[in-house]
Structure 1
């Protein structure tokens, strides 16, 4: 269970989230990271000290409130929305997403996890059930968040066994919890799992090594976060460029200009490359690659560019430019895993909007193939979906999607479903091909 690597790019950015059950200490952990790494300002500390709701004794600072941006969060002492915070150490820059622990806010965790490189799953030692046979019963939210991390293909999983001070820093309790989680992780297929014993409230093993747990010889949490490798596999994938906007000069210009603006979601492109326009399957050749700073000979995943083509073609927002040698798959019937995010259950009789890249079209759920049981990781038959259900479904879409399997290219394998009446996002989905 080791996720450390030596080939770390200096000052690279790491996006990570915290996940766990209610009151496992997620916000306190992030507050401790910010406080001990000097990542907060004096006025922030002053605002926290004035808060009406405090879960600490005496004048001790309630570090959990540093990430609670909504007044309702500070007043009730709970995390409702996803709170993003930025901080940096001499070795790396970080963006943290603090996500709610309550089951009804699992959808917020999905939102925060969708762009994360790593997840810290907190396990509260005071809540897990230590069985007489030596085993441990993990909480359902621990299993749910781990399952979502697997579905979303988050690369690194850190198991933070928190509140070790409540069990007198007992090594055997820590090892039993880690063994139970590792068994569950193996059933999920999680590969890169690292465990750390800590106390967010007391600061043990968060930024500074704990003198209370000399039996633990691994890295502190901040040392581990600084050393995690981050490599975007999208750079090695085939070229995908969803068109966001068609840019033109006004019609009175002697030399007509037509550029296709967007963000390269995967692969790379160079002047002279052969492309295919999807879904129309027109052939195209790259004439020029423009940016705000001038022309480029080539560009790669993550860059926002304007592409000029040799050919005069009918291309609009929602189309995708793909490498001619490995285009995306055109789908009108979609098989996907979804997390249902709406309080209103799925109604297979009605239509939804599907938002895939820059394309939005009508969609209809034709079948709920199976629902995933979080505890057993077994799938069973179901006819409908309700809040927080994770299921395999089939959809028909009105216009074809230029899609890839989520396991191959995350950007073109992901979508959301939108209620056509309320315009609320009701599900987040991951396309499966050949599964």
Structure 2
């Protein structure tokens, strides 16, 4: 994985084979597949979806995914999905310190912790999670049948193995893992920590650019899908695999005698991707005023109401600040959308001290928020010369529905009970 080759292009038709001649030519399901393989279709949309929206990939594998034992429940105390699994909480701003790294020895699945939930599996919505991984998943794979998973590493590199191949994902990158596809996440640096958006609604896609034009924000060519790769093992030689499945907001487990990562070739447009966030072409003002944060949208999961997303993934990367006669940090606001925020590295300009890398905050619909008193005083008196906001990377999962914090987020996570005090020193400075 030191010098991997990936296929680029978000939503494009890809094809890749790990064994020459494994991909059929001119047909998807020949009577006999080459090398004794099985053809299997993975659909990410209904068969009759418009062509531009239809997502599917053909897999050519050593054994089909039907070869698996029966499922039984797998308890998980902290991975919750859907508004019904959240807690009633007052409309207060919430903030958490970094997720603790001294957790008991656990893999990516064990280390998932839901901060906040909304919607319902099979209907729509999202889950905002933290993860800590202190060991590889080994002979264990995860299949999320409820939604796709957007992984945002904050500390430590990850090796993500999927049915279509492998992705190395470091802090500053993201990984997008399709709904229904088996994968496992192994930390290359221990411990690893980060965030996950479990998207229960429409699949993430690039946002429309409108008046911005044909260039800007995230470019499709910079999303990289893996080349075909499979675990080369004789059947049953390496022991059984545990398949962990997310279905109906619950976890289930089964075993199978072979690796789920046995796809020798594939073609289609339903694929996992990685994306280097430093390739995002930031748009900003060159005159005055602070534009809406929607100009920082990397990916969007649309809803049935145009412009009111099921969830948007937004970043606040390094950028030049040049606006004249303008309060440059985010203004104070009450938003119809609910905002879950995390910090990958550096400082966030609206919260220079209290918001730490690995931490998180939640400002629900119409909960007022904005710069703390220190940021307000500094920005109000700053010399407005061009300067580079550097060595920082924050992100936001923004969603149309209120997010309900979980019992873990309210009782066991490092919740800062004095968060609202950061605005206490904002005085009434009115003078006639």
Q: TM bucket by the smaller chain?
A: under 0.3
Richer in helix (by share): 1
TM-score (structure 1 length as normaliser) = 0.24
TM-score (structure 2 length as normaliser) = 0.25
